[in-house]
Amino acid sequence: MKPLRLLLLASGRGSHVVNLIEATRDGRILGEVVRVVSDRPKAPALTAASERGVPTAILVAAGDGARLPPDAEAQLLEIVRRDRPDLVALCGFLRLLRGSFLSQVAVPILNVHPSLLPRFRGLDAQRQAIEAGATVTGATVHYVDAGLDTGAIVMQESLEIPAGATPEGLADRLLPLEHRLYVEAIRRIQKENP
């Protein structure tokens, strides 16, 4: 099996970044994280990567909004071309990618989401689930397309929502499941594409 070169995109604290870096180092994933890229210069994910010796990059023209602006996407495409990853993994990356960008990246792009898609897409999925009265939620790893959490599902696993759950408490309960599922999904893709 060929080792994977992983490029990680992150906007926030970086728990998925740390999880995937550690998974490549402890043998759960055969490969290495070649770079962590963020749209936010002060994202803790960048610090977490640097502390572990992983190169980082900041999308300088990222601005605000749900989608990356064209200049930032062009910069990201150049990073992809230079680093030659086998897989791009979104790790709490809070931007949508345009179809024109996705069509130019010739490797799988994955995301992990804290719900059983297609239910509760987008931000605050835990709050959405609680407010909808759901008794079960879960985590989903899916391929990224130009929509909001609409790509083909790779893996899902459910988790009960206890009575009286808060969005924060549910997020804390979901995170270990998300971490495990993300690693399992990447391993599955690696085995299917030796």
Catalytic residues: 113
Output the six-digit token pair for 185.
């999904």
Cis peptide before 70 (omega within 30 of 0): no
Q: At a CB cut-off of 8 Å and minimum separation 6, what does 14 contact?
A: 36, 43, 44, 45, 46, 47, 48, 49, 91, 92
Taking CA 115 as the corner, what is the angle to CA 110 and CA 117, rounded to the nearest 5 degrees?
A: 65
Strand partners, 47: none
Could you tell me the end-to-end alpha-carbon distance of the chain, in angstroms, rounded to an integer?
Answer: 5
- Structure tokens given for 124: 């605050």
